[in-house]
Chains A and B, each alone.
Chain A
Amino acid sequence: MATTVDPKQLNNTLDDPAERSPLVLGGLDYEGVTDTAAAVWDAERPPMVWWVLLLIALSLLGLLGACVNHLLMAGTGVWGNNNPVYWGWPIVNFVFWVGIGHAGTLISAILFLFRQNWRTSINRAAEAMTIFAVVCAGLFPGVHIGRVWVFYWLFPIPTEHLAMWPNFRSPLLWDVFAVSTYATVSLLFWYMGMVPDIATFRDRTRSKIGKFIYGILSLGWTGSSRAWHHYEIAYTILAALATPLVLSVHTIVSFDFAVSQLPGWHTTIFPPYFVAGAIFSGFAMVVTLLVPARKLCGLENLITIRHLENMNKIIMATGMMVGMAYGIEFFMAWYSGVEFEQFALSNRAFGNYAWAYWIMVSCNVLAPQVFWFKWCRTTPWFMVIVCIFVNIGMWFERFVITITSLSRDFVPSSWSYFHPTWVDISMLVGSFGLFFTLFLLFCRFMPIIAMAEVKSIMPVEDGHH
């Protein structure tokens, strides 16, 4: 559909009370949406830049694989985790990735329940990002257990070997249930949402292998109205289930810290603070990914500036929530009158990890403030830079929480400074390789835009096009 783009229409960020701002630009009709969304998939071969990015991602993935192999062969001593910082980078990376993994379900589920139609263009990619981020997150505690070949001891499965059950009163076990439930439900939600679009691919593909694979994956979908009826109900139920789930997961992740007795961890503010941080970092990652992706895949008419602007507003709002939580932590420490808590917090801001704390504050609290200016939140290259800063800041948030409290525990004689090893660093870098490999494959082989949903929010026009 070669429709000429009205340059005036490209700016859909203006709010006109008399008219709803369009979410699909370029005068696209239903077929135009399909053609645009499937352009990368339709292409005979992917663009060169895709190959270059995939090559980089695959080499980082190889690095990750080598590190995991080394870890399993040599044991967890290859990490920098040591007395008194027994939870080092692996838990930092875990919380970082799980946090990122929250945006997808939030966009799909919560914005769906709130009838935010602008979610339709971005929810698919965000959900995919969620799944891949949870894969990265699951990796770290997975290999952290040391003997990964008995990972099933985490689950309540009767084993002759162990002859006992998990301790259901431990936050770490809650984590196992929360993260595995979250991964499963996100996967179901993602896949179910994708079935009508996979059916589109099934009907478009010309290759035999494609017909077979997409035919299996689309489960024989015909778009029958009866099927749509049950499907929409099921989608709503899954959204209603995923909404409390997404809040529970990061709440439970925060329990890993909050239920322990360590100063700087043992606070009731952690669950809401962690959830706000998770949404914050997740949205930042979505923007970081989608701005280049919409450019490379030619999706500017579907993922419009208005979408990105809305995302940036949420980033700014959650960034301020996180900033408030940082402030409240100090208030709570002072108000509690507990000198250990007061020491932990003042040590955080002015102690030997002050550099990390102030990186965190400047990236998370100060950087998103630029989104008060319209130019900042509607200029793609600029918002990517800000969002990368947010991602860095959110990694440092987890680093600050984990490392500062552990390195200064109750006994001054055991105080020490944490030093990551090359394996720690390589695994963090390598986990990005895993993430981007999966995301690049997804962009090429799966429907990156929820086509059916985008079409359903387009205004119904009379007659034919």
Chain B
Amino acid sequence: MANETNNSSDKELVGLLAQFDDPTSLLAACNNAREAGYTKMDAYTPFPVHGIDPALGIKRSFLPFIVLAVALGAVVLGLGMQFYTNGGGIGDWSTDEAAIFPGYRFMISGKPYFSLPANIPVTFEVIVLSSAFATFFGMWIINRLPRLSNPLHRVSRFKRVTNDKFFLMLEAKDDKFDASDSEAHLNQWGAVAIEEVNQDLTDTKLPSWMAPAALIGALLLLIPPVAIFSVYGSTNRKPRLHVVPDMDWQHKFKTQVLSPNIAEKDDPVYLFENRRAMRQPVEGSVRFGSLEDDSEMFRGIKKEFSGQAATVGLKSNVLASTAVQEEENPDQWITGFPEGFKVNEDTLARGKQRFEIYCSVCHGYAGNGDGLVNQRAIALAANGKASWTAAKSLHDPTVTDSVKNPTGRIYDTITNGRNTMGPYRDQIPVEDRWAIVAYVKALQATGITAPGAEATESEAEEAGEPEADESAEPAAETTEPEAEASEADDADTE
């Protein structure tokens, strides 16, 4: 019966393959083989035949336990991934450097960083995906598939196994196996045909060229990662290569620049008529928080003199100060403090602190006009290296005179500057300016007369006398913006 036999020595008998035409006779043969004591055998069928597992003595698959283990691992994986990436973390993320799994916290709609209900869907999907992979790959691994070479496929009759025929193979490895005995058995059990299955050992050897070819291939495969790592590890002065530049470079105009000619012709067209690249506020518009409608608070001017709404913010420093001074009416200044400002210990302390930051550099800590900048500038001026109008002592009678120089005017001096002193409205907030005014009044109330007051004044006369008219000397080459021309001030108020 056994056709296709080849007795050459390089063939090894794998087993005897018996063909059956229907599942019932195959099942009977399997039962008979098992009763006859065969253990190493297998049936091959076009579809799973009911009842063949006990007939062949196949034990129940342990695949479900593999899948269960993977699924349990996936619970940890899924939750852990979300716990890490969305920054649940252990420990205080913002301050504690030892925080574990710090991740990247998103504050979204005030939701908790880690909330189980919201993390269930993804965890579920991770479990299903991992379990499906475990099932799929686990099944093939248990079945020792894929297998690219199998002696069974060399039996032409075996091609019907995926169509309509049923086969039983008794393997040669079985202790009970004996070529002639087993063949007799199979015949007895109703086999339609019996064939020997041989493995051709020469077929299983690799061709000689394959090993060096594989080696060369493996070496060639190493080149791309090595190239990538060498570039990654070296420095380069050229900009990074951008395959897709995303939004790194865009056509745009930066703020505060002139618009270039956007017409592609000689006749120029600019983004806006005034050639700016950005819009200016609409005339009369007021920025949030900039509605300065309380003239006592914001300008130190009594309400009845407030006149037009201040638009100080839009004027340049120099223009603003001259404008105010041109309109100046000695009666317009408030003599006390605005309603919105309370003089108390806190505001005085605040005023002292701000005064020492902003004012003392010229006016000195005690207001004597002997600040360090002032001293240095006078020294330089003496050598002819700078032109300097000495800072005024705050204890000077023209300053302390509360009729000539009421609190509103001091506030205005700080805000808009006066003579050679620059404006401080951009540096010091309104409340702080009033706090400084309060502190200046407190300093004056101490009654100190500056020890060097006379000297300062005489020096000032030397240096500042020629420029008595303040409108003619807008910050003339002053090295410091903060300087007060005492003489000019006097002339102005009298």
Contacts and interface: CB of A to CB of B under 8 A. Distances in A.
B111 interface: yes
Nearest to A461: B22
A181 interface: yes
Interface stretch (B80-88, B377-385, B471-479): B80-88
A452 B46 CA distance: 6
A244 B128 contact: yes
B58 to A, nearest CB: 5
Contacts of B75: none
B64 interface: yes
Contacts of A452: 46-48
Interface in A189-208: 189, 192, 196-197, 199-200, 202-204
B305 interface: no
A168 B47 CA distance: 44
A385 interface: no
A305 to B, nearest CB: 24
Nearest to A227: B143
A46 interface: no
A192 B63 CA distance: 15
Interface in B98-149: 103-104, 106, 108, 111, 115, 118-119, 121-122, 124-126, 128-129, 131-133, 135-136, 138-140, 142-143, 145-149
Contacts of A230: 61, 63, 139, 142-143
B38 to A, nearest CB: 14
Interface in A224-239: 224-234, 237-238
A294 interface: no
Interface in B132-184: 132-133, 135-136, 138-140, 142-143, 145-150, 152-153, 158-164
Given A166-B85, A173-B122, A248-B121, A223 B45 contact: yes
A225 B58 contact: yes
A463 interface: yes
A343 interface: no
Residue among B140, B163, B244 facing the most chain A CB atoms (10 A cut-off): B163
A186 to B, nearest CB: 10
A203 B161 contact: yes
B53 interface: yes
A171 B118 CA distance: 9
Nearest to B48: A228
Contacts of A231: 48, 139, 143
A456 B164 CA distance: 11
A251 to B, nearest CB: 8
B146 A202 contact: no
A360 interface: no
B47 A225 contact: no
B56 interface: yes
Contacts of B64: 233, 237
B424 to A, nearest CB: 42
Given A222-B152, A452-B47, A462-B24, A200 B244 contact: no
B143 A226 contact: yes
A255 interface: yes
A238 B132 contact: yes
A227 B145 contact: yes
B44 interface: yes
Interface in B173-232: none
Interface in B1-35: 21-24
Contacts of B63: 230, 233-234, 237
Contact of A196 (B140, B162, B243, B246): B162
Contacts of B448: none
B43 interface: yes
Query: What bracket does the count of chain B residues touching chain A fall in?
Result: 35 or more
A163 B104 CA distance: 9
A156 interface: yes
A301 B243 CA distance: 56
B52 interface: yes
B163 A31 contact: yes
Interface string A366-388: 00000000000000000000000
A30 interface: yes
A167 B125 contact: no
Interface residues of A, number: 71
Contact of B42 (A29, A178, A225): A225
A225 B43 contact: yes
A188 interface: yes
Contacts of A171: 121
A219 B146 CA distance: 4
A229 B414 CA distance: 94
A185 B128 CA distance: 8
B162 A200 contact: yes
A31 B161 CA distance: 11
Residue among A150, A237, A242 facing the most chain B CB atoms (10 A cut-off): A237
B45 A225 contact: yes
B48 A456 contact: yes
Given A165-B104, A169-B115, A456-B48, A147 B246 contact: yes
B69 interface: no
Contacts of A456: 47-48
B157 to A, nearest CB: 11
Interface in A152-191: 156, 163-171, 173-174, 177-178, 181, 184-185, 188-189
Contacts of A245: 125, 128
A460 B108 contact: no
B43 A224 contact: yes
Contacts of A219: 140, 145-147
A163 B143 CA distance: 43
A225 B52 contact: yes
A313 interface: no
A220 interface: yes
A31 B42 contact: no
Contacts of A147: 244, 246
Given A156-B81, A225-B52, A241 B128 contact: yes
B23 A460 contact: yes
A230 B48 CA distance: 11
Contact of A169 (B44, B108, B140, B244): B108
B368 to A, nearest CB: 56
B65 to A, nearest CB: 11
A358 to B, nearest CB: 34
A439 B287 CA distance: 64
Given A165-B104, A464-B22, A222 B86 contact: no
Nearest to B115: A169
A228 to B, nearest CB: 4
Given A181-B128, A203-B163, A455 B47 contact: yes
A169 B128 contact: no
Contacts of A42: none
A241 B119 contact: no
Given A31-B164, A169-B108, A228-B48, A460 B24 contact: yes
B132 A463 contact: no
B147 A223 contact: no
B386 interface: no
Given A164-B104, A233-B61, A200 B128 contact: no
Contacts of A202: 162
B49 interface: yes
22 contacts: A29-B164, A149-B243, A165-B103, A167-B106, A177-B121, A202-B162, A204-B159, A220-B147, A222-B153, A225-B45, A226-B56, A229-B48, A230-B61, A230-B139, A231-B48, A237-B135, A238-B135, A241-B132, A248-B128, A456-B47, A460-B22, A464-B21
| Cβ-closest 3 pairs across A and B | A165-B85, A30-B164, A234-B139
Interface of A: 29-31, 34, 147, 149-150, 156, 163-171, 173-174, 177-178, 181, 184-185, 188-189, 192, 196-197, 199-200, 202-204, 215-216, 219-234, 237-238, 241-242, 244-245, 248, 252, 255, 451-453, 455-456, 460-464
Given A167-B106, A169-B111, A226-B42, 14 more contacts: A31-B163, A171-B121, A188-B133, A203-B163, A219-B147, A220-B146, A220-B147, A223-B46, A226-B58, A228-B47, A230-B61, A233-B61, A237-B67, A462-B22
